Amino acid sequence: MINILICDDSKLSLDINKAYVNDFVRKRKIKAECYTFQEINDKLKKLYQTMPIDIALLDIDFQRGEEGIELARNIIKHSPLAIIIFVTSHEEYALDAYNLAAFGYITKPIDEKKFERLFARALVQLRGINAIKNNHNIEFVANGKKQLVKEKNILYVEKCGHTVNIVTDKQTFCVYDSLKNLEGKFSNIFLQVNKGTLVNRNYITEITNQTIFITTGKSFSIPTRKVKEVQEAYKKTAENEL
């Protein structure tokens, strides 16, 4: 399952872009979830902050300004490997797109054939990105030695006094650093369930009331204010695995 975000303040453009995307993934029998927004709001922010975005199709001239550029920056903060494609009526914005390391841009009105070619290239890159993700290593110092651990093998990361425990399926590493300094190393497969704990979404088995359980049977408490956010993030992860 891939997550595709489409943002355009024109309903007509939004509907056309969504139709092109849906037609593209249907023809190729690709499992995809498409999220559309006509404005930047709390729901949009919550989406890209809690769920990995694979491809984002953004109008540069969003909400009558260069909001599309800023939105792309914010998406990349949370999903560093997201593929950004800009849609614009103004070719002069193309330089801004490439300065942001966007995958590409396409001008309005969108030509369906050009769209298909660009999206096909994006999928090729996405496959490469997923291969990288599966072998992504987290680097840190523990016991006076540099450690390299595959991110996918880490169950959770937990603050413990003035140290942080990085726990894998085989061992626990005690790191003399703050969780704040370390959390930037981890991708969106880690969910912050409370102030001192990051949990790998792939190992979550159940969320009951204010408690989250992982495959080892260990549980973590969730603050009342974060319960809904954590439940929604876990639900989206579970749906993506279907």
pLDDT tens for 211-228 read 999 999 999 999 998 888
Residue 218, classified by CB atoms within 10 Å of its CB into exposed (0-12), middle (13-18) or buried (19+), is middle
Tens-binned pLDDT, residue by residue, of the chain (242 aa): 789 999 999 999 999 999 999 999 888 878 889 999 999 899 999 999 988 899 999 988 776 655 788 899 899 888 888 999 988 776 665 556 555 657 878 888 888 888 988 888 888 788 777 766 667 788 999 988 999 999 989 999 999 999 999 999 999 999 999 998 888 788 778 888 999 999 998 899 888 889 999 999 999 999 998 888 888 777 766 555 43
How many residues does this entry show for the chain?
Answer: 242
pTM: 0.60
Same domain, 175 and 119: no
Do 156 and 94 belong to one domain? no
How far apart are alpha carbons 67 and 72 in whole angstroms?
Answer: 9
Q: How far apart are CA 119 and CA 165, in angstroms?
A: 41
* Domain finish residue from 103, 134, 165: 134
Verify cis geometry, omega within 30 degrees of 0, for the bond prior to 223.
no
Question: Based on the domain organization, do 103 and 141 belong to the same domain?
Answer: no
The CATH code of the domain that includes 101 is: 3.40.50.2300
Which residue matches tokens 């800023």? Answer: 70
Based on the fold, state whether residues 43 and 130 are members of the same structural domain.
yes
Q: Which domain holds residue 108?
A: 2-134
Q: Identify the domain boundary among 76, 99, 134.
A: 134
Q: Chain centroid to CA 38: how far? A: 20
Say how many domains are in the chain: 2
C-alpha–C-alpha distance, residues 104 and 86, integer Å:
6
